[in-house]
A = this chain, B = another copy of it.
Amino acid sequence: AEITRLETGFYENVNSFFLCSMALIIFFMQCGFAYLEAGAVRSKNTTNILIKNLLDSCICIIGYWAIGWALAYGDSGEGVNLFVGHSQFFLSGFSDYPRFFFQYVFSATAATIVSGAVAERCEFITYVTYCTVISTFIYPILTHWGWAESGWMARGITSGIIDTKYDDFAGSGVVHLCGGSISFLAAWFMGPRIGKFPENEDDESDEILGHSVPFTALGGFILMFGFLAFNGGSVASISHAGDGHTVALAMVNTILSGAFAALIYLGVHYYNHGKWTLLLTINACLSGMVAACAGCNKMEPWACIWVGVGAGLIYLALSKMMIRLKIDDPLDAFAVHAGGGFWGLMSSSIISHGGVVYALADAVSGAENSGDHLSQAFAQLGWQMICALAIVVWSVSFMFPIFWLLKKTGKLRVSEEVEINGLDVFKHGEMAYPLRAYGHGWHDFERA
């Protein structure tokens, strides 16, 4: 009895500590997104993109506290609900704050992805709207589907030898594929920034460049740091035998996957263009980490070679595709998050233990029951595809009427004048780098 009391008390405290400290670092990813994006826009829109990322955290905590949590995990216990939670609004009757805080930082991450795709032209009201809707409705309901015990994706299908369940450890699907899909929709509704796709295709002189490589890289470094906590922390417990081991495995797999994605992309880019690109390598690295989310807790490290290489190449293909489609996604939010996220869902059913590759290897080596294993592995892969499709359809179809309405009412995009002259001064009254604040009076010290 003493021992049980000790064990319970101990693990409750240590689990809380673990959740809170990981959540802290994940919270810091907001800063990472902010600088990844701030460096990638022109100086005239810097304040605008920074305030968006600041408000993400603020809007999201209110929305997730009031409604989001209830929709996601607020089961009332009176029978399960496959589609949506429906109790504990405003956390009434609820007190597991460590778990709430941990889920909140994930929700804020899902909402913040989109701001990169609509950068430099999005109206403030549109931003506030989609941010509220994603963190309060779209994302929470998706997590109910995939991560709540009673969700339909999490329950999956059990029939004969087949037992499939949605398999998404840290959110390749519900976080990144969701955010990435909405990014695509938003960028498509917005239309490209003025000058992004010049009529004369040979005219590269109008290429839009971000104003600060160091800020973008700073964001990238912070996001790499944060992703390790994002994926490692998703164990969400440090009390069961082997939990600590899994945390570390997830972190190792995440950095391995990111490294392979970065290096393959860098190699291909160098082969094609003769330049060692930093900015795109950062994106590729992030897409590798996004892809690692789904299965990093159960893959062997060697499998991350394929997760990473796949993510790097898919990122490459999707970012090229967006340019072909003349859809302007300034931060490649779609290519990184939807591409990496989708590949994460697939790869976790292919090259994790029990996945298609293992089943094939069994079959080839003629192991017992290898036929059953194959059936199960392919069924699981199929279920993952269905879930991925559901995530995309849900996210896009929820946002479509909202963006459509905003467009009809002229609230989607700033005026041409404001876009050309920059959002910072007009919308916020704050230039990022006021000229008058520069310079000093010791001119004899400056020897040019």
- In the assembled complex, A271 has its CB within 8 A of some CB on chain B: no
- Decide: A440 and B436 in contact? CB cutoff 8 A: no
Residue in contact with A425 in the complex, picked from B101, B212, B221, B440, CB distance below 8 Å: B440
Instruction: Give the interface segment out of A15-23, A318-326, A349-357, A360-368.
Output: A15-23
- In the assembled complex, A255 has its CB within 8 A of some CB on chain B: yes
Bound-complex Cα distance A35 to B221 (A): 10
- Decide: B420 and A441 in contact? CB cutoff 8 A: yes
- A438 proximity list for chain B (CB < 8 A): 42-43, 211, 433
- Decide: A252 and B101 in contact? CB cutoff 8 A: yes
Bound-complex Cα distance A302 to B101 (A): 15
Bound-complex Cα distance A221 to B434 (A): 21
Given A43-B437, A441-B44, A448-B435, decide whether A58 and B285 contact each other with a Cβ distance below 8 A.
yes
Closest to A12 in B: B244
Closest to A221 in B: B31
Interface size range of chain A in the complex: 35 or more
- In the assembled complex, A161 has its CB within 8 A of some CB on chain B: no
- Decide: B248 and A214 in contact? CB cutoff 8 A: no
Closest to A28 in B: B225
Given A98-B248, A282-B54, decide whether A16 and B448 contact each other with a Cβ distance below 8 A.
no
Bound-complex Cα distance A208 to B211 (A): 24
Residue in contact with A214 in the complex, picked from B50, B98, B285, B440, CB distance below 8 Å: B50
Contact with B along A272-287 (1 / 0, CB 8 A): 0101111101100100
- A430 proximity list for chain B (CB < 8 A): 213, 275, 277-279
- Decide: B31 and A218 in contact? CB cutoff 8 A: yes
- Decide: B446 and A435 in contact? CB cutoff 8 A: yes
12 pairs of residues in contact across A and B, judged by CB atoms under 8 Å: A16-B247, A19-B248, A35-B214, A58-B263, A62-B263, A95-B245, A97-B248, A97-B249, A124-B276, A211-B438, A273-B429, A436-B447
